[in-house]
Amino acid sequence: MSAFARKMFGQLKSKEFRDYLMSTHFWGPIANWGIPLAALADIKKDPSFISGKMTLALTFYSMMFMRFAWRVQPRNMLLFACHFTNECAQLTQGARFINYHYIEGPKPVEEKKE
């Protein structure tokens, strides 16, 4: 176990890893993670606030950038994972939007009897 830990620590101290941490290959995806995290946080919120147009736009945006992350050399798997997560979150939000606006409809508000 100690040899494994030493090897991992040695890789973290390497010039290649430091160069990776200072590249747009790393910081671009890190900055993008705000989008899927916000979408995942919104899954529990009221579906009446979901924008169908924005959800559709973000779905296509993530599809395009997943392809880009896969095709760029070297492949950017961190960017791919970010946009794959966002794609799943946006599809979930889209399903909630369609269900709320076109299938179930708004739920009637119950009045309290005193």
Local structure of 73: helix, strand or coil:
coil
pLDDT at 112: 64
Token pair 């973290």 is at which residue?
12
Q: Does residue 111 register a pLDDT over 80?
A: no
Give how far Cα 30 sits from Cα of 25, 34, 79, 85, Å: 9, 8, 8, 13
Q: Does residue 64 register a pLDDT over 80?
A: yes
pLDDT at 54: 96
Assessment of whether the complete model's pTM goes beyond 0.85: no
